[in-house]
Chain A
């Protein structure tokens, strides 16, 4: 298919295009020179007075895998409330708003103009499940990050300071389970949780029976991640998530690896809002946004994503099992916990964020504060830690909130007063512009994922993933007309995925299936290490090593990214 998008206002930060009126040409799934298009055959889209951007990229959303599916099963109420109907030959049906079923997950991303999503927490032993779900998410490209912070084989290597062995093993593991990157969740806690301990574990606490601390794990794996040259930096959910006073923990975590790089990003701190709290208890909770932002503004080795909350019912799900146990005691409704042998643990607890609640209102402010106080939009990305803070379908709202102080003030009118007195948000004037929004939601995540050659931009040779929004930036001021921006962002005028039109006027018109990226080693694992791993397997696991490995043909559209080698 050939497509010519004519006369749109193009926002393409990687190519330094800031709303220029341009034509974008598409052929065989790629962006090409307009001269290469046969105008007789091409579909011409008149984008005059509209915004054209690369497809959105979600760096962190729990959309697939064992934990998400348990959430679906547990949150029956969510599925009674929200559904999409079958349109024969065009789209499948599904249910759920916070824990949507797979097909409608893809459709809802596409309707917003998003074309890539990263599932950020897959336990290796159950990653076959994650891939089965990713296979069933239509339209978007995807990848999954692999939980490694409490993997006993890895901890053994770190404990023995055998970084070379650790590197080899991690590369093998990523390829074996077809994962894309290394994820740490509350480093070390899942080890202690096997004995029902671990709540509140801090950076320098011991992770028994290893002679390691979370700091050692972060530092060691950051080094391994860097030396392996993995496409994505170490992705960390810090210790003490959701506990007042955890801002210090986050700062220590960021600083633990500062000496490893002074220029490029080597550590990604995810859903930072949940890890930016001052105070000693919930009553005197305070915002740590300034401290976090100050650190990021003065250090180039870290990036953040927001983990913004929005009001309403949410489903919290993390591999931070003790935290979920603690949350269960606050929410007192349902609690689902799972441990995965030798690897990880997870919990799911439904939760409701309330405007009038002091803590929730302050959480809402903190997320936005961080995004507004960090100067460089290339290092702060929009997420809700879906479905922990809010569903991913709230991204349009968050984009608009960042673009309009007036919108923020409108929401703040209904918030808990005490929270607003403690927050900094009321005093922040900054408003993001469309270019910066395109950075945060397109260019920056593409770069952070190491996919910037083909993703997150509209230059020649890029994947033809494009979003067109029906909004005229020359006529409408986002600060004032935020409602119009919100409406336009919610339903893209067009979404094009790999050169196919998949959304028109906000509705899914065509179902295609994207790729699954994963890391593949250029070289084979050494016999000796394989033998060690096999021995460890017999000791710790209840499956055979051979059956743990996921074959490439189990993925619908596997897309290896080669790493390592001489």
Chain B
């Protein structure tokens, strides 16, 4: 049978982001995420057509997914959206960085007759899970009372790090019936807010999750945490700063570890900042001044759909007023939909961003490059880009996981930071990371002001320590260092590499989440929570660290509390068990 060799890239896609809101066990999710995007040519080489199943094999595992044709040509590159399927074939090793390698992995693809497993089958067959998985609560049935429609304006969208705060939400009968101005992701999150909800607390008894009283579930969770030798508290990027603060206090009292999801997205950005600094600005500066906009290793049209219109290429600024006055460049390993809209697309060979950045630094410093190409890019194109950079009045590079997750990790980011620092000798230039989850930036901020460290924090010695590679969640799990886990607003069972998931399934697991996630379904205690920005308020930080308040628009389902309230109860219970008085 034929097989082809490709470079595997995993990441967000628009369809994945939308399907997510309907639940990880939904048909939509299976249909949109258990797929591999292949170039038309590669499909032909495999002798298959779109919709056929293929087996993707790497050094780290294998998975069967459905092949689909990529919209843009990218021969030799296979893209699998982030999720339980991608997790089976990514490289779990963090090389002491805390960050697994999720992009640029060598893979072999072959046609197969084997069926695609759904997430439950993955848990059963790949991870040998014996725990029972509960039937999902039916979608909440809301009796619509007679009420006049009201429209909430200036609503902040709690989906991605763009935190667009100009949404209009139409509410009737205590329920959201329409959303205006939102992108497809935000719209999906808000309109499907009531679907796939957890509506009661649960405790696992004799292998089965059974409904429980909230207080009982909190007592049970507190006992698990207090009895653990070294618990891990993980998640935190999709909740409020107020909740995260309480999570940190809880980890401190337990002497446990605390990590947020930045460890598997922009952890390397933070490590690079620690080494060399950063030159950055808020998005309004870009809107008002930037005449050169570069997106590097990111695909905003899928992951941050309104980014271009609100803040960059298409926005109307004070000094730079329109698309015509801005140059727009994309650097990526494949021609994404964002790349198609750009004035200049630079296709870099996977895992060679560092080389390309170094070449740019050399040119800017006045050195000549003798090679005819670097990182797969013809030298004339690199000179052209360097020229655009130096002649811009105000340039900006937005970069994404294409730089943080590939070979080199934090070294790539150090290189791009230095490039930008050096460009300031010539002109005004800034760098902004494209942060994914709506409050991942806030999670870093509150961790830093509370402990001095932005993520991967250990409290075992009674004071904060930060040693990525040791105290980072993927490593703590893969190494089997922790013996209980509390997950807040995250789904590591779906998104962590294989080995980490295996350990998680062996130890007591507590989940606090508004919705059923894979992690929730296999947990030992499940506590439902309200959705921040819809059902309760709190602060979140935009990707440029601008803090924005999220408001409460509607009531949460009956009996469901906010993360903040739940964590306060849990903290009180833990203090009681540990005999700590005071506040």
Given A129-B545, A542-B284, check contact A339 B430 (CB 8 Å). yes
> Is the CB–CB distance between A542 and B464 below 8 Å?
no
B158 to chain A, nearest CB (A): 13
B122 to chain A, nearest CB (A): 37
Question: Which residues of chain B are near A338, meaning CB under 8 Å?
Answer: 280-282, 545
CA distance in complex: A84, B461 (Å): 11
B132 at the interface (CB under 8 A from A): no
> Is the CB–CB distance between A334 and B277 below 8 Å?
yes
> Is the CB–CB distance between A547 and B154 below 8 Å?
yes
CA distance in complex: A342, B282 (Å): 10
CA distance in complex: A339, B466 (Å): 28
B445 at the interface (CB under 8 A from A): yes
Question: Which residues of chain A are near B252, meaning CB under 8 Å?
Answer: 86, 92-93
> Is the CB–CB distance between B452 and A100 below 8 Å?
yes
> Is the CB–CB distance between B279 and A86 below 8 Å?
no
Per-residue 0/1 for A16-30: is the Cβ within 8 Å of any B Cβ (1 yes, 0 no)?
000000000000000
B118 at the interface (CB under 8 A from A): no
CA distance in complex: A109, B575 (Å): 27
Q: Which of B264-293 contact A (CB under 8 A)?
A: 270, 273-285, 287-289
CA distance in complex: A83, B252 (Å): 14
A439 to chain B, nearest CB (A): 33
> Is the CB–CB distance between A95 and B448 below 8 Å?
no
> Is the CB–CB distance between B547 and A73 below 8 Å?
no
> Is the CB–CB distance between B282 and A125 below 8 Å?
yes
Question: Which residues of chain B are near A133, meaning CB under 8 Å?
Answer: 449
A289 at the interface (CB under 8 A from B): no
CA distance in complex: A89, B575 (Å): 9
> Is the CB–CB distance between A84 and B311 below 8 Å?
no
CB closest chain-A residue, reference B287:
A542
CA distance in complex: A451, B578 (Å): 42
Contact among B287, B318, B444, B546 for A126, CB-based, below 8 A: B546
A74 at the interface (CB under 8 A from B): yes
> Is the CB–CB distance between B547 and A337 below 8 Å?
no
A73, A79, A328 pick with most chain B CB within 10 angstroms = A73
B459 at the interface (CB under 8 A from A): yes
CA distance in complex: A340, B546 (Å): 9
Contact among A101, A126, A550 for B545, CB-based, below 8 A: A126
B453 at the interface (CB under 8 A from A): yes
Per-residue 0/1 for A339-358: is the Cβ within 8 Å of any B Cβ (1 yes, 0 no)?
11110010011000000000
CB closest chain-B residue, reference A197:
B428
> Is the CB–CB distance between A335 and B449 below 8 Å?
no
Contact among B281, B393, B466 for A76, CB-based, below 8 A: B466
A136 at the interface (CB under 8 A from B): yes
A330 at the interface (CB under 8 A from B): no
CA distance in complex: A194, B288 (Å): 10
> Is the CB–CB distance between A194 and B428 below 8 Å?
yes
Per-residue 0/1 for A73-112: is the Cβ within 8 Å of any B Cβ (1 yes, 0 no)?
1101011000111101110111110011111000000000
Given A542-B311, A544-B154, check contact A95 B424 (CB 8 Å). no
> Is the CB–CB distance between B282 and A340 below 8 Å?
yes
Contact among B279, B283, B394, B451 for A101, CB-based, below 8 A: B451
Per-residue 0/1 for A39-50: is the Cβ within 8 Å of any B Cβ (1 yes, 0 no)?
000000000000
A416 at the interface (CB under 8 A from B): no
Contact among B166, B424, B450, B464 for A544, CB-based, below 8 A: B166
> Is the CB–CB distance between B165 and A85 below 8 Å?
no
Main secondary structure of the interface of A (DSSP, over half): mixed
CB closest chain-B residue, reference A345:
B281
CA distance in complex: A340, B545 (Å): 10
CA distance in complex: A546, B548 (Å): 10
CA distance in complex: A336, B418 (Å): 11
B310 to chain A, nearest CB (A): 7
Contact among A79, A129, A336, A341 for B283, CB-based, below 8 A: A341
A436 at the interface (CB under 8 A from B): no
B341 at the interface (CB under 8 A from A): no
A515 at the interface (CB under 8 A from B): no
> Is the CB–CB distance between B318 and A543 below 8 Å?
no
Question: Which residues of chain A are near B277, meaning CB under 8 Å?
Answer: 74, 328, 334-337, 348-349
B270, B280, B284 pick with most chain A CB within 10 angstroms = B284
> Is the CB–CB distance between A73 and B288 below 8 Å?
no
A554 at the interface (CB under 8 A from B): yes
Question: Which residues of chain A are near B428, meaning CB under 8 Å?
Answer: 194-196
CA distance in complex: A95, B448 (Å): 10
Main secondary structure of the interface of B (DSSP, over half): mixed
B463 at the interface (CB under 8 A from A): yes
Question: Which residues of chain B are near A336, meaning CB under 8 Å?
Answer: 273, 277-280
A240 at the interface (CB under 8 A from B): no
A553 to chain B, nearest CB (A): 9
CB closest chain-A residue, reference B446:
A132
> Is the CB–CB distance between A69 and B282 below 8 Å?
no
A128 at the interface (CB under 8 A from B): yes
Q: Which of B7-44 contact A (CB under 8 A)?
A: none
CA distance in complex: A129, B276 (Å): 24
CA distance in complex: A381, B296 (Å): 49
Given A132-B446, A325-B424, A334-B275, check contact A101 B282 (CB 8 Å). no
A187 to chain B, nearest CB (A): 19
> Is the CB–CB distance between A86 and B281 below 8 Å?
no
B541 at the interface (CB under 8 A from A): yes
A72 to chain B, nearest CB (A): 5
Question: Which residues of chain B are near A85, meaning CB under 8 Å?
Answer: 461-463
A556 to chain B, nearest CB (A): 11
Given A89-B580, A93-B463, A543-B165, check contact A72 B282 (CB 8 Å). no
> Is the CB–CB distance between A337 and B279 below 8 Å?
yes
CA distance in complex: A86, B241 (Å): 21
Contact among A73, A95, A542 for B444, CB-based, below 8 A: A73
Question: Which residues of chain B are near A70, meaning CB under 8 Å?
Answer: 278
> Is the CB–CB distance between B451 and A126 below 8 Å?
no
Question: Which residues of chain B are near A206, meaning CB under 8 Å?
Answer: none
Given A89-B580, A196-B428, check contact A547 B165 (CB 8 Å). yes
> Is the CB–CB distance between B547 and A136 below 8 Å?
no
CA distance in complex: A173, B229 (Å): 50
B238 at the interface (CB under 8 A from A): no
CA distance in complex: A136, B445 (Å): 13
B501 to chain A, nearest CB (A): 30
> Is the CB–CB distance between A132 and B547 below 8 Å?
yes
A165 at the interface (CB under 8 A from B): no
> Is the CB–CB distance between A66 and B166 below 8 Å?
no
> Is the CB–CB distance between A94 and B466 below 8 Å?
no
CA distance in complex: A85, B255 (Å): 11
CA distance in complex: A551, B546 (Å): 16
Per-residue 0/1 for B464-478: is the Cβ within 8 Å of any A Cβ (1 yes, 0 no)?
101000000000000
A37 to chain B, nearest CB (A): 26
B211 at the interface (CB under 8 A from A): no
B172 at the interface (CB under 8 A from A): no
Question: Which residues of chain B are near A129, meaning CB under 8 Å?
Answer: 445, 541, 545, 547
Given A89-B582, A554-B549, check contact A95 B282 (CB 8 Å). no
A74 to chain B, nearest CB (A): 6
> Is the CB–CB distance between B545 and A79 below 8 Å?
no
CB closest chain-B residue, reference A540:
B318
CA distance in complex: A550, B464 (Å): 31
B445 to chain A, nearest CB (A): 6
Contact among B241, B427, B454, B547 for A196, CB-based, below 8 A: B427
> Is the CB–CB distance between B549 and A195 below 8 Å?
no
CB closest chain-A residue, reference B280:
A338
B439 to chain A, nearest CB (A): 13
CB closest chain-B residue, reference A335:
B277
CB closest chain-B residue, reference A513:
B583
A-B contacts besides A70-B278, A336-B280, A540-B284, 10 pairs, CB < 8 Å: A69-B449, A72-B449, A92-B252, A92-B450, A101-B450, A102-B450, A126-B545, A194-B289, A543-B548, A547-B548
Show 17 A/B contacts (Cβ-Cβ < 8 Å), sorted by A: A73-B453, A73-B454, A90-B582, A95-B451, A101-B452, A125-B282, A195-B394, A195-B428, A335-B279, A339-B281, A339-B282, A339-B430, A341-B284, A341-B285, A345-B281, A547-B165, A551-B549
Q: Nearest 3 A-B pairs (CB), nearest first? A: A341-B284, A95-B452, A196-B428
